[in-house]
Each structure stands twice: as C-alpha cells, then as structure tokens.
Chains A and B, each alone.
Chain A
Amino acid sequence: MEKLQRLSSEDRDNLPAYLDGELNEEATRRIESILVQSSVARNDLELLSKTYDLLDELPRPDAPKDFIEKTLATVKMERVKVSLSDQVWFQTSQKILVLLGWTVALVIASVAGFAVTNRMVERPDDVLAEELPLMRNLDRYEEVQSIDFLDQLTRSEELLNQMRKATSHE
C-alpha cells in the first residue's frame, strides 16, 4: 500500500471501532496492517482519537446538594397521589377480573360449541326416531308390494268398499 493512499470507506468506518477495541480479530489485523503501511491512515486514526478526547472538555456538572432530598420528596408526593391503576389491590383485582372474564368466555364458547355440534351432527338415534312410522308399518308396506295397486285402490271407490267388506267378514 502506498504511503499516502486513502483508506477505503469500510476501513475508515472501522477505525473508531478499532480504537475502541470493538473489532473482531480479523478486522483488527487488517487495520493494523494498513496502519503499518499508510501514514494517511495513522494520521486519520490520530485525529479521530484526539478529537474524541476533546469531549473530556465538556462540563460535567454535579447534581445540586439538595437533589436527592428533592427527588425523594417528589417520590413521596407521587406515592400519596398514586393513581388507582398503580395500587396493588387494584392490579390484583384487575388480574382476577381478567381471569374471570376469560373463564366465562371459555364456558360460553364451550356451551355454544356443544349446542351447535348437537344440532349439526346427526346421531343414529335421530335417524331411527325419524324413520319410526315407516318401521312400524313396514310389514304392511311389504304386503302391498305394489305402489300402482295402492294408487288404483284409492281411485276406485267400489274396489275399496269390496275390500273393506271382505276384511270385515274375516
């Protein structure tokens, strides 16, 4: 590397982290190798370090002597007017209410779920109950054998009377 060669953008970005010891081993070695070869890099590093050190010139004011006292007094006042939502009993009640709410919601959901499935899903017993009239008269229906014959019978009044007479004689 030439003595006056400019640093790449990435190398330049890494200089502060190098100064802070925050680079990984590989990146540290790379920066050190650049520094050995480039006086521009060494100059940049020195400027970065020195300008950063100037921050130590900033005033570091101490807190006023009564700061702790005032802060504690403010905290005490805060405690007195502590809001409802910050009180332990309120928070506990709130938690219990939330829990209760969820329990009620769960029960309602279970009942509704049961009711819906009960109506929607057909059970074998329901089918049997529905078909009961048919089952009761199954023997008769089998004796009749023909639907056409039944139709003729209902249309012919005379034939129907004859059959009634015949069955009443028996």
Chain B
Amino acid sequence: MLRVKDGDDSAFAQIVERFQNRLIGIFTSMFADSALAEDLAQEVFLRIYRAKQGYEPTAKLSTWIFQIANNLASNSRRSKGRKKEVQFQVGGSGSQAVQVGESNVAEKSAMMPTRQLDKTEMQERVQSALTVLNERQRMAVLLHRFEGMSYADIGETMELSTQAVKSLLSRARENLREVLETYVT
C-alpha cells in the first residue's frame, strides 16, 4: 500500500488482484446479489485509491480494507432502504430472483426436515438462513468464517470491542443453529 501511496499503479493492481475475490465473496453473501457485490467491491478499491495519500500503516492492510467494505455495506444498505427481506439471486447470473424471508426459511425447514438436499438447494437454504441474522451479525460471521479473522480483528474492522464481537457471534451462531439444525445429521 505504501507503494500505491508513492504512485505505483502496478502495486495497486496487485492489491485488486489479491482482494477482489474475497470482497466479492463477502458482498455476495451479504446481499445475495453478484452484480451489486461487484459494484461494491469496485467502490471499495476506488475508495482505497482515493484514500492512498492518507494511508498510514497502523493496522493490517486487510483490516483496513474490510473496514472500508463494512462501512460501504452499511451505507449501501441505509441509502437503499433495504428491508429485511431481500431479493436473492442464487446460482449466479440469469437465475431467478426469489423472495426469501425469515418466516419462509422456518416454513421450508419444517416442511422437509430430513430430505437429502442437493448442493444448489443447500446453498439456497444456507443463503436464506443468513437473512435471519441482522447486518452486523452477518458481517461478523462472514469475516470470521471466510476471512478467518480473530475476534480482535473483527472488532477493529467493525469498530466494536472484542467482548461485543463475542456476543454478536454467539447470537448469530445460535440463530443459525436454530434455522439450520434440521439440515445437519
């Protein structure tokens, strides 16, 4: 990042390459919308570029980048006035958008508790289960599970205390357990 600060564009390209899939992955799981995820990931890189002059290597680069991503996700949600029930596009581009909400997940869970689900169906169930979590719980879970962040790093990224992250993840995982326990054997 210090090279980017000095105007090295190839260093910036390396950062994009290193973080593009990770950011798109997080945003896709957050919003279940791959197009939006790409737009948001690009916006993160733009913000990184704009902020390069003010960058100070006081925190890990990944923490700083995901801090920007977290702020952007919050702003995006606020500005679009998203409701708890969101449009889901599972399985990439061209797939049908499905309205899935908290009650719907529970209904589906109750209706087919033991049937073996195929991979796509399971993806749908898990993606739907994430809607049970609030935005902060979801972000904390994704950073923990996919980025392998410690509670302290999540706290720094989301500007929360370690204790608050512990509570957040505990509630989130309890909620996930309630919704998904039917699918584990």
Q: Is there an interface contact between A68 and B17, defined as CB atoms closer than 8 Å?
A: yes
A20 with B20: CB separation less than 8 A: no
Of A57, A75, A86, which contacts B45 at CB under 8 A?
A75
Docked-complex contact B50 and A78, CB < 8 angstroms: yes
A6 to chain B, nearest CB (A): 14
Distance of A159 Cα from B174 Cα, bound (Å): 117
Q: Across the interface, do B42 and A74 meet the contact criterion of CB distance under 8 Å?
A: yes
Q: What is the predominant secondary structure among interface residues of chain B facing chain A?
A: helix
Residues of A contacting B166 with CB < 8 Å? 13, 16-17, 22
Cβ–Cβ contact B123 & A68, under 8 A: no
A11 smallest CB distance to B (angstroms): 11
Kindly identify, within residues 12 to 30 of chain A, every residue whose CB is under 8 Å from any CB belonging to chain B: 12-17, 20, 22
- The reply to whether the CB of A59 lies closer than 8 angstroms to some CB of chain B is yes
Is B136 an interface residue when CB atoms closer than 8 A count as contact? no
Instruction: List residues of chain A with CB within 8 A of the CB of B151.
Output: 17, 20, 22
Interface: A47 (CB within 8 A): yes
Report how many A-B pairs have Cβ atoms within 8 Å.
119
B97: min CB distance to chain A, Å: 15
Q: Are B45 and A59 in contact (CB under 8 A)?
A: no
A54 lies within 8 A of B170 (CB): no
B residues 77-133 near A (Cβ < 8 Å) are 90-92, 119, 122-123, 126-127, 129-130
Are B91 and A51 in contact, CB atoms less than 8 angstroms apart? Answer: no
Main secondary structure of the interface of A (DSSP, over half): helix
CB nearest neighbor in A for B176: A51
Hey, which chain A residues are within 8 Å of B184, CB to CB?
A: 47, 50-51, 54
CB distance from B7 to the nearest CB of A (A): 10
In the assembly, what is the distance between CA of A75 and CA of B51, in Å?
12
Contact A78 B46 (CB under 8 A): yes
Judge whether A60 is part of the interface by a CB distance below 8 angstroms: yes
Complex contacts, A63 vs chain B, CB 8 Å: 20-21, 24, 38, 41
Instruction: From B13, B150, B169, B183, give the contact of A72 (CB < 8 A).
Output: B13
| A58-B126 in contact (CB<8A) | yes
Query: Once bound together, how far apart are the Cα atoms of A48 and B181, in whole Å?
Result: 8
Interface check B49, CB cutoff 8 A? yes
Interchain CB contact (< 8 A) of B123 among A13, A22, A58? A58
Starting from the known contacts A47-B181, A59-B127, 12 additional A-B residue pairs (CB-CB under 8 Å) come to: A13-B167, A22-B150, A47-B177, A52-B145, A54-B184, A57-B122, A63-B38, A67-B20, A67-B38, A68-B16, A71-B45, A71-B46
